[in-house]
């Protein structure tokens, strides 16, 4: 399980084989250590030295996020440092045809999943998204002939802008969604999307660490100081599936309200109960099962969380030359 700690002033402590979350003398939560896959601390959360030690010893991925979901860092123990895999990853990065092949797969996967989600929504609501669906189809066709990552990023950007333009038809008017914006988000819908993407980025980066790859060396996103480019690459195909669909569900079923948002610092941010409901929804979404091609001959129903892990491991096999090419996860 993933333990999210969001209560201001809370602290995480170790008591035998249990991890406790307490605020002053109040016990907020208690979990067995053997049940934990990850601990996420959001905001000003205290972590005792004994708890830190046991989390490192047990190899429990421990992540620090700001109250707005911005990544701050993580505890990384001595295990999972696959030097040979990372060495090969750096060699592959210098191989332009290889780098371009992975980038193409990432962009095409994202575009296809965005189109699939829009078409599903259109059928349910009786909304005409034909023009955007056609544009996304053309964008998908442009991926294969693209000769460099810059042109791929342009194709992805144009398709994404059109997609978000259409997504507004399926969100309540009170969320004031007019298209994607961020840093900071300017409206409630974008606050939900930004926070959800932060959760997804954390999940993907955790899977990358487990697999032994370097999350800062990607193939599509520009490599820059402090930017987890590979995590940004591999989360692209999952954005529509795990975050956009969840935000639509929460918004259209009245699970978020005006009091769940705070306007400050030139933006709008998710807070309080709204943040908790999005986290809970995201956790439920990760547990949902979906058909996944584990090999060319076999399809299994596995959780979305396992899909993330399998995709990262698939890329690792491609980096090592054990598989011919990276294939994105496509929702059906």
Q: What is the pLDDT of residue 210?
A: 80
Distance between CA atoms of 36 and 7, rounded to whole angstroms? Answer: 19
Asked if the structure places residue 23 within a domain, the reply is yes
Which has the minimum average pLDDT: 69-78, 156-165, 266-275? 69-78
Q: Which of residues 75, 108, 140 is at a domain's end?
A: 75
Residues 67 and 99 in one domain: no
The answer for 119, left when phi > 0, alpha when psi is -120 to 50, beta otherwise, is: alpha
At 187, list the tokens. Answer: 């409206």
185 near 70, Cβ under 8 Å? no
Confidence of residue 78 (pLDDT cuts 50, 70, 90): low
Domain total of the chain: 2
Asked if the structure places residue 156 within a domain, the reply is yes
Distance between CA atoms of 125 and 177, rounded to whole angstroms? Answer: 18
Q: Which of residues 25, 55, 75 is at a domain's end?
A: 75
Mean pLDDT of 22-49: 86
pLDDT-above-70 percentage for the chain: 98
pLDDT tens per residue, range 231-255: 999 999 999 999 999 999 999 988 8
Residues 52 and 117 in one domain: no
Residues 15 and 127 in one domain: no
Q: What is the pLDDT of residue 59?
A: 79
Asked if the structure places residue 325 within a domain, the reply is no
Residues 272 and 188 in one domain: yes
pLDDT tens per residue, range 172-224: 888 878 889 888 999 999 999 999 999 999 899 988 988 889 999 999 998 88
Asked if the structure places residue 265 within a domain, the reply is yes
pLDDT tens per residue, range 124-156: 888 899 999 999 999 999 999 999 999 999 999
Residues 34 and 92 in one domain: no
Asked if the structure places residue 324 within a domain, the reply is no
Residues 30 and 141 in one domain: no
CA distances from 27 to 2, 31, 32, 277 (A): 18, 11, 14, 21
Q: What is the pLDDT of residue 138?
A: 96
Q: What is the pLDDT of residue 282?
A: 94
Q: What is the CATH number of the domain that holds 61?
A: 3.100.10.20
Cβ neighbours of residue 289 closer than 8 Å, sequence gap 6 or more: 301, 302, 303, 304
Q: What is the pLDDT of residue 134?
A: 95
Residues 146 and 13 in one domain: no
Distance between CA atoms of 237 and 326, rounded to whole angstroms? Answer: 12
Which residue range forms the structural domain that includes residue 53? Answer: 2-75
pLDDT tens per residue, range 284-298: 999 999 998 877 778
Asked if the structure places residue 326 within a domain, the reply is no
Q: What is the pLDDT of residue 61?
A: 81
- Residue of higher predicted confidence among 59 and 79: 59
| Long-range contacts, stretch 62-69, CB < 8 angstroms, 24+ apart | 62/38, 63/38, 63/39, 63/202, 63/206, 65/40, 65/41, 65/198, 65/202, 66/42, 67/6, 67/42, 67/43, 67/271, 68/194, 68/195, 68/198, 68/269, 68/270, 69/42, 69/194, 69/195, 69/198, 69/199
At 22, list the tokens. Answer: 């307490």
Residues 299 and 257 in one domain: yes
Asked if the structure places residue 232 within a domain, the reply is yes
Confidence of residue 17 (pLDDT cuts 50, 70, 90): confident
Mean pLDDT of the chain: 90
For the ranges 2-6, 83-87, 194-198, the maximum mean pLDDT occurs at 194-198
Residues 19 and 90 in one domain: no
Q: Which of residues 75, 103, 126 is at a domain's end?
A: 75
Residues 132 and 99 in one domain: yes
Q: Quick check: 63 pLDDT over 90?
A: no
Q: What is the CATH number of the domain that holds 135?
A: 1.20.120.920
Q: What is the pLDDT of residue 157?
A: 94
Cβ neighbours of residue 313 closer than 8 Å, sequence gap 6 or more: 211
Asked if the structure places residue 139 within a domain, the reply is yes
Q: Quick check: 256 pLDDT over 60?
A: yes
Q: What is the pLDDT of residue 173?
A: 84
Residues 71 and 111 in one domain: no
Residues 142 and 274 in one domain: yes
Confidence of residue 81 (pLDDT cuts 50, 70, 90): low
């Amino acid at each position: 399980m993933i333990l999210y700690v969001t209560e201001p002033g809370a602290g995480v402590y170790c008591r035998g084989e249990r991890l406790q979350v307490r605020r002053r003398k109040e016990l907020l939560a208690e979990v067995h250590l053997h049940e934990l896959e990850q601990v996420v601390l959001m905001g000003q959360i205290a972590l005792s030295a004994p708890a830190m030690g046991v989390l490192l010893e047990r190899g429990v991925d421990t992540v620090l996020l700001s109250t707005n979901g911005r990544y701050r860092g993580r505890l990384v123990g001595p295990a999972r440092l696959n030097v040979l895999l990372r060495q090969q990853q750096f060699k592959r990065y210098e191989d332009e045809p290889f780098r371009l092949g992975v980038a193409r797969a990432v962009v095409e996967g994202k575009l296809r999943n965005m189109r699939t989600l829009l078409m599903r929504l259109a059928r349910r609501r009786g909304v005409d998204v034909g023009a955007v669906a056609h544009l996304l189809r053309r964008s998908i066709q442009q991926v294969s002939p693209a000769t460099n990552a810059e042109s791929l990023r342009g194709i992805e950007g144009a398709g994404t802008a059109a997609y978000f333009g259409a997504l507004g038809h399926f969100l309540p008017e009170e969320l004031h969604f007019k298209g994607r914006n961020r840093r900071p988000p300017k409206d409630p819908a974008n606050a939900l999307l930004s926070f959800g993407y932060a959760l997804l980025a954390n999940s993907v980066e955790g899977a990358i660490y487990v697999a032994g790859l370097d999350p800062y060396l990607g193939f599509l996103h520009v490599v820059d100081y402090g930017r987890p480019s590979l995590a940004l690459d591999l989360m692209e195909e999952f954005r529509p599936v795990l975050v956009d669909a969840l935000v639509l569900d929460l918004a259209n079923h009245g699970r978020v309200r005006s009091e769940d948002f705070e306007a400050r610092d030139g933006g709008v941010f998710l807070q309080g109960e709204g943040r908790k409901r999005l986290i809970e929804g995201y956790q439920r979404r990760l547990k949902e099962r979906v058909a996944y091609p584990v090999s060319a001959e076999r399809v299994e129903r596995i959780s979305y969380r396992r899909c993330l892990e399998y995709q990262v491991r698939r890329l690792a096999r491609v980096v090592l030359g054990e598989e011919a090419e990276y294939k994105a996860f496509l929702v059906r």
